[in-house]
Amino acid sequence: MNRFLLAALVTAGAALSACAYNDTLGRNQFLIVDDAALTQQADAAWAQALRTQRISNDAAALNRIRNVGGRIVDAAGLSDRRWDYAVFVSDAPNAFVLPSGKIGVTTSLLALVRNDDQLAAVLGHEVGHVVARHAAERYSTSAATGLVLSGVQGVAGDYGQAAGAIGGLGAQLGVLLPFSRRDELEADRLGVDYMQRAGYRPAESIALWRLMQAQRQGATPEFASTHPSDTTRISALEGYINSRGWN
């Protein structure tokens, strides 16, 4: 039992010492990761993606992302760092961001969006993750959760592997995934703010998610997904945009 208590106490101590208030989000965040280390890992992941994934040679598409992304980055107050963009050839409409200022967009997503306002919704969402420090928060939460679970496995003896599997599933569904869904909704809200500041139409973010909802098939149930359902996102965006008078 001592090993479990030690793991729990270490985690609790880390939580108390690593809580920081994020003014943009209006809440505390648990952050224990070194920013320099996270940036280094992000840069390595970006370099690997450029080496191993098929990159589009469509110069017009890349310039479009750079132009819209530059306006969003300026609106978010992050123009003091270098931002890199790439268009990945894929049948899945998707985009991703790395905390070191890298944004990837797929060819399928570019084909899906109807205008630059909808593209701005995508890029605003991705930049929102960076402003909110969601990557650092997820990393910190995962590391702390893993520490406690390793303590549980040590106590379980011969049943350690089974206990770890059950505990890991419980932690994932009960802690890590809900935090991810919260992060996604926060990034949606921040993205709308940046859209509006950059001169794009916030209501087009709702149109974007309706397009995504229409083309999606076999969606994962929300309780077991890292992302909110399309219905949840649309409802949250409608409420926020209406509250700001931007409809």
Residue 17 has pLDDT above 90, yes or no: no
158 CB neighbour count, 10 Å cutoff: 7
Are 140 and 33 spatial neighbours (Cβ–Cβ below 8 Å)?
A: yes
Half-sphere exposure of 157 (CA within 13 A, CB side): 2
Contacts of 148 (CB under 8 A, 6+ apart): 4, 7, 8, 11
- Whether 140 has a pLDDT exceeding 80, the answer reads no
pLDDT tens track for 44-103 = 989 999 999 999 999 999 999 999 999 999 999 999 989 999 999 999 899 998 888 999
d(CA 145, CA 140): 9
Helix ranges restricted to H, 80-133: 107-112, 116-131
Q: What is the pLDDT of residues 147-175, one digit of tens each?
A: 544 443 443 344 334 334 444 545 444 54
Q: Is the dihedral of CA 235, 237, 240, 245 positive or negative?
A: negative
Q: How confident is the model at residue 220 (pLDDT cuts 50, 70, 90)?
A: low
Q: Which residues does residue 84 pair with via DSSP β-bridges, in sequence order?
A: 102
Instruction: Sort strands 102-106 and 95-98 into parallel, antiparallel or unpaired.
Output: antiparallel
- 184 in catalytic set: no
Given this model, what pLDDT does residue 128 score? 94
β-bridge mates for residue 95, sequence order:
105
User: With 0-12 CB in 10 A as exposed, 13-18 as middle and 19+ as buried, what is 63?
Assistant: exposed
pLDDT of 1: 45
| 198 CA to centre of own chain | 21
Domain boundaries, the chain: 17-136+180-244
